[in-house]
Amino acid sequence: MKFIAHRGNINGINIEKENTVEYIVTAIKDSFDVEIDLWYVDDEFYLGHNVPIEKVSIDFLLDNSKWLWCHSKDIYTFNELLKYDEINTFFHDFDECALTSHKYLWTYFDKPLTEKSILLKFDKDSFFTIPEYIYGICSDNIEYYKKKLNN
């Protein structure tokens, strides 16, 4: 099972640090994959949830592509990232799920799941049971879910 830190968050939301290179690298070093928000503006990539904030190189994205799940924040970013087979990217707006470029289903909580699903479960939920057949889970509290599944 893949455990994916949403924007680099491992133990709850940290708005000041999420979607920063330093935070992303820390999550990867802690053995998590990371979902990041990306923008492509004026021929440059930027991290940031609602707006582009921190510039990031294509080399950083390629060097860490094994661990990154790149949420393209607009269709132009998605189109640019599709040029790189190594990068796993997706774009969605109000969809129940989105197909990533590596053919996984980025799926909202409470929607149907398959063995190719990445389940989005942001809050801690002691009553929630993680379906063991899914491919992965993405959360701001990913360490909580990793421990819960491993117990």
Q: Domain ranges in the chain?
A: 2-150
Measured CA to CA, the distance from residue 105 to residue 117 in angstroms comes to: 5
Residue 46 host element (H or E): strand 44-47
Question: Considering the chain, what is the average pLDDT of its residues?
Answer: 95
Band (95; pLDDT cuts 50, 70, 90): confident
Band (151; pLDDT cuts 50, 70, 90): confident
Is the pLDDT confidence value at 144 over 90? yes
CA atoms 101, 103, 106, 107: torsion sign = positive
Rounded to two decimals, what is the model's pTM? Answer: 0.96
In DSSP terms, 55 is beta-bridged to 46
Quick check: 36 and 18 in contact, CB under 8 A? no
Burial annotation 79-112 (CB, 10 A radius, 16+ → b, else e): ebbeeeeebbbbbeeeeebbebbeebbbbeeeee
Band (124; pLDDT cuts 50, 70, 90): confident
> What is the pLDDT at residue 111?
93
Band (149; pLDDT cuts 50, 70, 90): confident
Measured CA to CA, the distance from residue 140 to residue 144 in angstroms comes to: 9
Using alpha carbons, select from 94, 90, 145 the residue that is nearest to residue 123. 145
Share of the chain above pLDDT 90, in %: 86
CA atoms 59, 65, 71, 76: torsion sign = positive
pLDDT (tens digit per residue) in 44-79: 999 999 999 999 999 999 999 999 999 999 999 999
> What is the pLDDT at residue 128?
85
Band (94; pLDDT cuts 50, 70, 90): confident
Share of the chain above pLDDT 70, in %: 100
Residues 68-95: what's their mean pLDDT? 96
DSSP single-letter state for residue 113: -
